[in-house]
Amino acid sequence: MKVNKKFMNQLIHSLLILFVFYSSLSAQDKQTPDLQSGIPEDNPKNLPKANDKKPEFGFSQSVANDVYVLGNSLFGEKLSRRNNESYNSFSQGLVLGTFVNFFTPIPGFRLNLIMANPLIGRSNTDNDFFYQSSSGGTDETNKVLQSIQSGQLTFDPNQIKPRKEKNGLRDYFIGQILYEWNTSIGQFFTGFLIVNSANYPTNASLFNYTVGWKPGFLEYLRPELVSNYRISSESNGLNQGNSHHRATLSHEYELNKDFKFIPSIQVGYQYFNNNTDRRSGVTDITAKLQLNFREMNVSVSDVYRPDIYLFDNDRVYPKPSGIQADTNADDGKVTDPSKIHGTANQTVASAIQSLPWDTNSKNYLLNTYQQQHITKHHFVINLGYVTKF
């Protein structure tokens, strides 16, 4: 008997939906993902007993407008540079976060896998509007203009042409291996945190040793202290040897059987931002309000970065080609992506450079036009669900 292919596809699709729905209804002891720290919150209940060898598999997903890990934006600021838009407090991005938590047969030992996938801004675009020989290369538009004026083809149009920059957003992979154990003064855990991405212009990766403590007292506030020590040496050892420390307080209010409200606050401290600037300070104070409805959750976070001198450098905010270097690392200003490229911006820059003033005055005026203050507050909205098998 011949079976209708369209009907079979619809049937399979329906069965998959029913399977996910049933799994969500039967899920218990859920874990709440925390994109702001890059690490899912741990199950507040005791660790599995030694005779409990059954592995548990946790799965959760969420969508957010940006992701912050250890006080750093993974997508929003890159999207602003790609789209020639000013940095602001609310990113227009859309990111899918997938969390897989695997509790191994070894009590206390587990593996967390996190994937952050941008849903918009993935393609490369031509955002400098230059004629150039290579992507992100020198501006060779003058050769084209001179050829047009002379009426003679003096350049190779197959070589010098508009080109897309490598500015598409790329995926992030975060892995965490943890061993947890209980003591008379609380729960300790240790392991490794790995972050990897292929975002332009350089691959972002780090390898950290993690150690943390959840005190057995002040249970109402659920305190947690976590330290990450950088042991990898990417970018010629730029960040090697630095460390990041976080303190978290939170409480879960059970509004009724289905609704739970969880306010929390995290404070992060960076000991040396990099081995060039060697600045230390508070990376972020993240206040988060989360509402859980059964397996669904929605949260709003304010990532406040008080010590912006930690980020006032070309390594956090890459300097576009052709732009004067930001030599003042204490003014809290960076290049405004919306004031660099395009005919209007180039006309203003040329007009400033042609003024009959001294070089310092012209550079000051140009920086005033092309720079903006680093944004201190960043708001993140997150919507997700959790389940467990």
Token pair 């950088």 is at which residue?
230
Q: How far apart are the first and last CA of the chain?
A: 37
Helix (H, G, I), strand (E, B) or coil at 271: strand
352: which residues sit within 8 A by CB, 6+ positions away? 362, 365, 366, 369
Q: What is the pTM of this model?
A: 0.83
Domain at 5-125+166-315+374-388, CATH homologous superfamily: monomeric porin ompg (2.40.160.40)
Q: CA 309 to CA 381: how far, in whole Å? A: 26
> What is the C-alpha R_g of the chain?
25
Please check the confidence at residue 155 and state whether its pLDDT lies above 70.
Answer: yes
Mean pLDDT lowest for which of 4-8, 187-191, 213-217?
A: 4-8
CATH code 2.40.160.40 region(s) in the chain: 5-125+166-315+374-388
**pLDDT recorded at residue 14:** 44
Of residues 55 and 98, the one with the higher pLDDT is 98
Q: CA 264 to CA 286: how far, in whole Å? A: 8
Which pLDDT tens digit goes with each residue over 72-85?
899 999 999 999 99
Kind and range of the H or E element at 263? strand 259-271
Backbone angles phi, psi at 144, to 5 degrees: -70, -45
C-beta of residue 246 within 8 angstroms of C-beta of residue 37: yes
Please check the confidence at residue 18 and state whether its pLDDT lies above 80.
Answer: no
> What mean pLDDT do residues 105-122 have?
92
Mean pLDDT lowest for which of 103-112, 226-235, 299-308?
A: 226-235
- Confidence category of residue 233, pLDDT binned at 50, 70, 90: low
Which pLDDT tens digit goes with each residue over 207-230?
899 999 999 999 999 999 999 999
Per-residue b/e over 8-28, b at no fewer than 16 CB within 10 Å?
eeeeeeeeeeeeeeeebeebe
Q: How far is CA 74 from CA 53, 67, 159, 198, in A?
A: 37, 6, 34, 12
